């Protein structure tokens, strides 16, 4: 499985079952259902709730639920009828306050402590800093859920909540805020069954395991991303410890399982543990036998560790196992051995199996027909080789197959899918596989995610795609397709969220399209042979569009007809587009990357392009633009700006050096700019590539170059690329959650690494992956006069310096040899005199 597994496969299938069986019955309360059936609430409690509401009113956040408090007259008098408030049907006391579906901004009023009979409290905040101390006075609480908490410090008064059975106090340790903390209050909660303190810093709580072990009724433990220290086992006693711990979630604690103490502790729950996640806990060495002894395990997640070797034979004891992820480890051995062991334990129960990203697991794929319940199989980025057995087509319950980036070879036929009617996800990308289906084949499945890049799908575009009406993600990059893009392709694909057909030889046009994308997709048709005008539908509602390196022609008027408020990335480079750019760029408010280079655009850059307030990379090079330097004063996020090879003229504005603090690349090469270099350019402290060559710039070089601080330091690994994060789609995106496929509508993004052409040692070269290390100043072929500024010797990070073909005078600085990073120095065709310093020959 690829990176989306790491983001989304946080399955809790068993956890939900545990909550239903173990928690809910013991928390069943008698309360009215907010309909006023059982009488009015008590006045003092009503006043306490109104004070609580006041603490969150007028602070933003989701106040819709609280706005119902005090609406109609009956509700105003009876708080038992307010949304989220529940009262005991006999006493009318408020026993339950459930606002978990609203995010509140403000502070919790201490008046809430007057709800002495409160047994259930669930609140979600936007900015609550910590758990209020008065919460400890609500001694009848059985259920307490507060999140997220910015402070993450727990008041000792929580130890008074001795009836508590459910406690969830998640924090904001996503940002790495380290606070002193302790859990000494926790053992007093002897009735606790469910504990979740995720995303709170517990790095200084060295006795966390000893404390947790003192909770005799604990059934669920969740301490995700708490920076837990290695557990101490020597003082651990099991006299009062839980005998029925069923779920342990310690994900993203790189030190939590670094010692054998963790395994000794877990070994006490061989018969009760059902759910275990030690993802990214720095497990190393061989897989211990302790896992194989946990005969009740249903869910085992060891993703992202440093485990080595094979699967111990004790895994054959895991007869209840349904979900197993060993992805992102260093396991080795033969697939036949791995699957033989698993076939002895859970062939009829295993539903989810992930061995991906273990590069040393090798061999061919054995017959999996005995795994009759398997729904998801991921073997991507392993040493898998040979052919895909046709019997995989008999595994009728399969919903997801991912075997990308392996050494599979051979032909994929209709037989491989004969009974896979439930298949939703198929990823066989980057293998030596050729798909061979009859032209009239109708698949038994309806895919939602298809990744077949790098396979041989052509020469024709697969006709069976027209039956995939539910397809959301389609990737066929470099699939050896040389066909005309059929009209039926757009009949269903306008509902997709990701489309990538780049690097093929697809022909045809886009001019007769008449739809709008539904889900803000990413569309990549680059490096094909498409031609004709571009229809506005291609851009409408999209978030990412790459049509570069085709043969599109005509004007750019389609830009004004498109709905582009969510578009973050647009690449139209290397086509045959022409004419003046339309003046409608105000609508492109989200655009981060724009590349119009290598076309035949002409005229002046429209004024509204200065409204691209989010733009970071703007490339207008190799066109026929005229006029003065574009007015981009509002584009203050610019990192890369390229105007090379146009006919821009006039002076370089002073504001260029003032308004762009993040500007790393500024290329004005081969234009008609004139005037002097403004001294304000020395304020470009982030600049790495400055190219003003082949213009008519005159005057002296500013004597403040030492202020260019990025050029004044040598390169480091963090400077390798100049990158930009952009949104590729807003979903829905299918992923496996537990053993079921689910969908997220959260934005998905990617990182674009800028690629720039630079004059290097007399030739033009393109740089991308190491672009950030190419620190260059090129002022050649202008009319510069005066001496070379002495402070240029402070630019020790420079890799290339070209001042040739000017009218510079004076001598070469004797300390020029300090520029030890220089690989190219050109001072030729000037009026310099004197001897060449010996230090230059040391460069």
The pLDDT tens digits for 123-181 are: 887 666 678 899 999 999 999 998 877 766 788 999 999 999 999 998 876 544 556 67
More confident residue, 4 or 140: 140
CA distance 566 to 521: 10
Q: For the residues 49-71, what does the mean pLDDT come to?
A: 71
The token pair that represents 659 in the structure block: 């308004």
Report the mean per-residue pLDDT for the chain. Answer: 86
Closest CA to 178 of 158, 196, 199, 157: 199
Cβ neighbours, 10 Å, residue 324:
24
Q: Where are the beta strands (DSSP E) in 335-488?
A: 352-354, 360-364, 376-378, 383-386, 400-402, 407-412, 425-427, 432-435, 449-451, 473-475
Cβ neighbours, 10 Å, residue 226:
26
The token pair that represents 164 in the structure block: 């508590």
Q: Which of 84-93, 164-173, 701-710, 757-766 has the lowest mean pLDDT?
A: 757-766
- Give pLDDT, residue 752: 60
CA 815, chain centre distance (Å)? 47
The pLDDT tens digits for 570-591 are: 999 999 999 999 999 999 999 9
CA distance 626 to 694: 16
DSSP classification of residue 683:
G
- Give pLDDT, residue 9: 35
Q: For the residues 54-82, what does the mean pLDDT come to?
A: 69
DSSP classification of residue 269:
G
- Give pLDDT, residue 768: 59
More confident residue, 81 or 393: 393
CB proximity list for 82: less than 8 A, separation 6 or greater: 34, 49, 68, 69, 75
- Tell me the pLDDT band of 565, cut-offs 50, 70 and 90: confident
Q: What percent of the chain has pLDDT over 70?
A: 84
CA distance 825 to 804: 9
- Tell me the pLDDT band of 764, cut-offs 50, 70 and 90: confident
- Tell me the pLDDT band of 103, cut-offs 50, 70 and 90: confident
- Give pLDDT, residue 745: 47
More confident residue, 166 or 730: 166
More confident residue, 175 or 482: 482
- Tell me the pLDDT band of 19, cut-offs 50, 70 and 90: very low
| 3-class secondary structure per residue, 624-669 | EEEECCCCCCCCCCCCEEECCCCEEEECCCHHHHCCCCCCCEEECC
Q: For the residues 18-33, what does the mean pLDDT come to?
A: 41
Is residue 595 within 8 A of residue 757, CB to CB? The reply is: no
- Tell me the pLDDT band of 542, cut-offs 50, 70 and 90: confident
Per DSSP, the residues of 14-42 read HHHHHIIIIIGGGG------SS-TT-PPP
Q: For the residues 312-336, what does the mean pLDDT come to?
A: 95
The pLDDT tens digits for 596-645 are: 999 999 999 999 999 999 999 999 999 999 999 999 999 999 999 999 99
Q: Which of 77-91, 133-147, 312-326, 605-619 has the lowest mean pLDDT?
A: 77-91
More confident residue, 738 or 583: 583
CA distance 66 to 575: 56
CA distance 316 to 292: 7
Cβ neighbours, 10 Å, residue 68:
16
- Tell me the pLDDT band of 71, cut-offs 50, 70 and 90: low
Per DSSP, the residues of 39-100 read -PPPHHHHHHHHHHHHTTTTS-B--HHHHTTT-SHHHHH-GGGSTTEEE-TTT--EEEEEEE
- Give pLDDT, residue 100: 82
Confidence check: pLDDT of 102 > 90 = no
Is residue 667 within 8 A of residue 691, CB to CB? The reply is: yes
CA distance 720 to 771: 6
Confidence check: pLDDT of 748 > 60 = no
Point out which residues pair with 777 in neighbouring strands: 690, 801
Confidence check: pLDDT of 647 > 50 = yes
**Residue 326, Cβ density class (10 Å: 0-12 exposed, 13-18 middle, ≥19 buried):** buried
Confidence check: pLDDT of 307 > 50 = yes
Q: Is 354 helix (H, G, I), strand (E, B) or coil?
A: strand
Q: Which of 196-200, 218-222, 751-755 has the lowest mean pLDDT?
A: 751-755
Q: Is 106 helix (H, G, I), strand (E, B) or coil?
A: coil
CA distance 389 to 408: 11
Confidence check: pLDDT of 17 > 60 = no
Q: Which of 141-155, 465-479, 494-508 has the lowest mean pLDDT?
A: 141-155
Closest CA to 460 of 490, 440, 480: 480
More confident residue, 760 or 302: 302
- Give pLDDT, residue 334: 97
The pLDDT tens digits for 790-816 are: 999 999 999 999 999 999 999 999 888
Alpha carbon of 174 to those of 122, 490, 751: distances in Å?
A: 22, 41, 21
CB proximity list for 41: less than 8 A, separation 6 or greater: 78, 79, 80, 85, 87, 92, 93, 94
Q: Which of 269-273, 360-364, 481-485 has the lowest mean pLDDT?
A: 269-273
CA distance 652 to 668: 10
Q: What percent of the chain has pLDDT over 90?
A: 61
CA 196, chain centre distance (Å)? 24
| 3-class secondary structure per residue, 156-203 | HHHHHCCCCCEEEEEECHHHCCCCCCCCCCHHHCCCCCEEECCCCCCC
Is residue 75 within 8 A of residue 67, CB to CB? The reply is: no
CA distance 657 to 697: 16
Cβ neighbours, 10 Å, residue 712:
17
Alpha carbon of 692 to those of 687, 707, 777, 788: distances in Å?
A: 13, 18, 8, 16
């Amino acid at each position: 499985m690829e990176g989306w597994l790491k983001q989304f496969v946080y399955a809790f299938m068993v956890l939900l079952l545990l909550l239903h069986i173990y928690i809910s019955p013991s928390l069943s309360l008698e309360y009215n259902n907010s309909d006023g059936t059982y009488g009015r609430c008590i006045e003092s409690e009503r006043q306490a709730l109104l004070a609580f509401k006041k603490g969150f009113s007028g602070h933003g956040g989701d106040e819709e639920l609280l706005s119902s408090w005090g609406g109609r007259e009956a509700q105003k008098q009876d708080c038992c009828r307010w949304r989220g408030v529940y009262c005991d049907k006999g006493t009318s006391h408020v026993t339950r306050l459930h606002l978990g579906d609203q995010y509140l901004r403000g502070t919790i009023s201490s008046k809430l402590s007057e709800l002495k009979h409160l047994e259930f409290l669930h609140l979600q905040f936007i900015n609550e800093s910590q758990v209020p101390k008065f919460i400890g006075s609500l001694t009848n609480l059985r259920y307490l859920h507060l999140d997220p908490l910015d402070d993450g410090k727990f008041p000792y008064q929580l130890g008074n909540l001795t009836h508590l059975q459910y406690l969830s106090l998640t924090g904001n340790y996503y940002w790495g805020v380290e606070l002193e903390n302790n859990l000494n209050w926790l053992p007093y909660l002897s009735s606790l069954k469910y504990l979740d303190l995720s995303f709170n810093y517990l790095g200084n709580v060295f006795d966390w395991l000893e404390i947790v072990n003192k909770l005799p009724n604990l059934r669920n433990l969740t301490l995700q991303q708490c920076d837990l220290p290695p557990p101490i086992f020597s003082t651990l006693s099991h006299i009062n410890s839980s005998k029925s711990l069923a779920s342990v979630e310690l994900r993203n604690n790189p030190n939590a399982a670094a010692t054998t103490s963790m395994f000794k502790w877990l070994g006490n729950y061989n018969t009760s543990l059902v759910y275990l996640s030690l993802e990214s806990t720095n497990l190393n060495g061989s897989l211990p036998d302790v896992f194989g002894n946990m005969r009740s395990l249903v869910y085992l997640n060891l993703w992202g560790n440093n485990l080595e070797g094979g699967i111990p034979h004790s895994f054959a004891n895991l007869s209840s196992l349904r979900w197993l992820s060993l992805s992102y480890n260093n396991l080795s051995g033969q697939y036949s051995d791995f699957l033989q062991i698993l076939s002895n334990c859970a062939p009829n129960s295993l539903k989810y199996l992930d061995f991906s990203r273990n590069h040393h697991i090798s061999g061919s794929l054995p017959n999996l027909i005995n795994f009759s319940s398997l729904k998801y199989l991921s073997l991507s980025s392993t040493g898998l080789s040979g052919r895909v057995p046709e019997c995989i087509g008999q595994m009728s319950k399969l919903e997801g197959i991912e075997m990308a980036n392996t050494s599979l070879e051979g032909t994929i036929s209709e037989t491989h899918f004969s009974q896979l009617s439930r298949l939703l996800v198929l990823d066989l990308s980057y293998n030596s596989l050729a798909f061979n289906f009859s032209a009239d084949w109708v698949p038994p499945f309806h895919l939602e995610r298809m990744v077949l890049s790098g396979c041989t799908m052509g020469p024709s575009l697969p006709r069976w795609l027209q039956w995939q009406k539910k397809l959301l993600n389609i990737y066929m990059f470099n699939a050896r397709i040389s066909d005309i893009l059929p009209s039926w392709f757009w009949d269903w694909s306008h509902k997709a969220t990701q489309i990538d057909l780049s690097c093929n030889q697809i022909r045809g046009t886009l001019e007769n399209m008449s739809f709008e994308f539904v889900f803000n997709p990413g569309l990549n048709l680059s490096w094909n042979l498409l031609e004709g005008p571009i229809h506005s539908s291609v851009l409408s509602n999209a978030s990412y569009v790459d049509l570069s390196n085709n043969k599109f022609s005509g004007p750019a008027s389609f830009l004004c007809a498109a709905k582009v408020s969510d578009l973050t990335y647009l690449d139209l480079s290397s086509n045959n587009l022409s004419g003046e750019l339309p003046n409608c760029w105000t609508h492109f408010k989200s655009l981060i990357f724009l590349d119009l280079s290598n076309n035949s655009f002409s005229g002046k850059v429209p004024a509204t392009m200065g409204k691209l307030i989010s733009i970071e990379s703007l490339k207008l090079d190799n066109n026929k633009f005229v006029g003065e330097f574009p007015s981009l004063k509002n584009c203050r996020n610019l990192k890369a700006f390229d105007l090379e090879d146009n006919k821009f003229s006039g002076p370089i504005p002073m504001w260029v050096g003032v308004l762009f603090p993040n500007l790393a690349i500024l290329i004005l090469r081969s234009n008609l700019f004139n005037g002097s270099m403004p001294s304000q350019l020395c304020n470009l402290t982030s600049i790495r590539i400055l190219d003003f060559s082949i213009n008519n710039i005159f005057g002296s070089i500013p004597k403040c170059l030492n202020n260019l601080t990025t050029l004044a330091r040598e390169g480091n690994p963090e400077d390798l690329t100049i990158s930009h994060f952009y949104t590729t789609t807003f979903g829905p995106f299918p992923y496996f959650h537990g053993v079921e496929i689910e969908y997220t509508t959260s934005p998905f993004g990617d990182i674009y690494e800028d690629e720039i052409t630079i004059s290097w040692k007399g030739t033009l070269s393109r740089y991308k992956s190491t672009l950030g290390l190419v620190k260059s100043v090129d002022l050649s072929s202008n009319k510069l006069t005066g001496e070379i500024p002495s402070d240029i010797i402070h630019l020790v990070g420079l890799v290339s310096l070209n001042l040739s073909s000017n009218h510079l005078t004076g001598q070469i600085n004797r300390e020029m040899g300090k520029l030890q990073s220089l690989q190219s120095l050109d001072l030729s065709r000037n009026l310099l005199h004197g001897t060449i310093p010996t230090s230059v020959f040391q460069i």
